[in-house]
Structure 1
């Protein structure tokens, strides 16, 4: 079997990725239930909430791209970055999903430098606010300052609603 059934009941086939199998409610639903840092944090903090924050850290023209920058994880799940680097087949599969999602929602692929930078700002913020800073250097964050706000993790339902509200707001302004 090469497909999964999504929250909305669609079949998402990894061998034949159809844009029709992708919907924003499935993305919001899955990302709101996936915990950042493979769950190794004191309290639940979702990929959906992370994505919403990233969408506010970029200029408006990059906001939808930023909101959707981790959308492929709704179908492929989230893996710790060090593990992702060891799995080239996973990297290829997630890239295939990213390409279809980008085309479906009209955002660029590959990810713009503005979104990549905002994602790192959020990583620095998460490190600071989610008790991940044990003094060990994170080379990827060299020269990156955390955001001006303090994170307050939401539950999955709140993250789901926040993600969909942000998507609706961004689509109204397009």
Structure 2
């Protein structure tokens, strides 16, 4: 089998990807059920909530790209960056899925520098707010400041609803 069932009942194929099988509802639902840091946090904190924060840290014209910057994880799962480095075949598939999503939602072909920086700001903020700072250097965060707000984790249902609200808010401005 080379496909998965999505929340909406579609079959998403990894070998024969069709843009019609990609939906914002499936993305929101899956990302709201995926925990950041492969679940190694005291309280459940979803990729959907993380993505909403990233979308608020960039200029308005980049907010949709930021909201969907991890959307491929809705179909491929959230593999931690250290593990992903050992999985080149996975990286190829994830990149392909990301490209289909970028095409479907008319996003730039590659992640913009502003979205990447906002993603790192959120990583630094998550490290602070989820008490992951054991003073081990995270080189990727050198020179990156935390956001000026605290993170309060949402339930998966809350994150899904807020993700879809944010998407609908952004679609109105495009």
Same fold per TM (> 0.5)?
A: yes
- In the other structure, the counterpart of 2:173 is 173
- In the other structure, the counterpart of 2:79 is 79
**Could you give the per-residue CA deviations for residues 56-115 of structure 1, whole angstroms, max 9, x where no partner exists?**
000001000000000000000001100000100000000000000000001112100000
- In the other structure, the counterpart of 1:124 is 124
- In the other structure, the counterpart of 2:89 is 89
Map 1:118-157; keep pairs closer than 5 Å: 118-157=118-157
What is the SS of the residue equivalent to 2:12? strand
Segments of structure 1 that go 5 or more residues without pairing to the other structure are none
Map 1:8-47; keep pairs closer than 5 Å: 8-47=8-47
For 2:75 and 2:119, locate their aligned partners in 1 and report how far apart those are by CA, in whole Å. 20
Segments of structure 2 that go 5 or more residues without pairing to the other structure are none
What is the SS of the residue equivalent to 1:4? strand
Query: Where do 4+ consecutive residues of structure 1 move more than 4 Å?
Result: none
For 1:109 and 1:132, locate their aligned partners in 2 and report how far apart those are by CA, in whole Å. 33
Q: Once the 2 structures are TM-superposed, how far is the Cα of residue 119 of structure 1 from its aligned partner?
A: 0.2
Normalising by structure 1, we get a TM-score of 0.99
- In the other structure, the counterpart of 1:69 is 69
Q: Once the 2 structures are TM-superposed, how far is the Cα of residue 116 of structure 1 from its aligned partner?
A: 0.3
For this pair of structures, how many residues does the alignment match?
Answer: 174
For 1:70 and 1:149, locate their aligned partners in 2 and report how far apart those are by CA, in whole Å. 21
- In the other structure, the counterpart of 2:164 is 164
- In the other structure, the counterpart of 2:115 is 115
For 1:17 and 1:130, locate their aligned partners in 2 and report how far apart those are by CA, in whole Å. 36
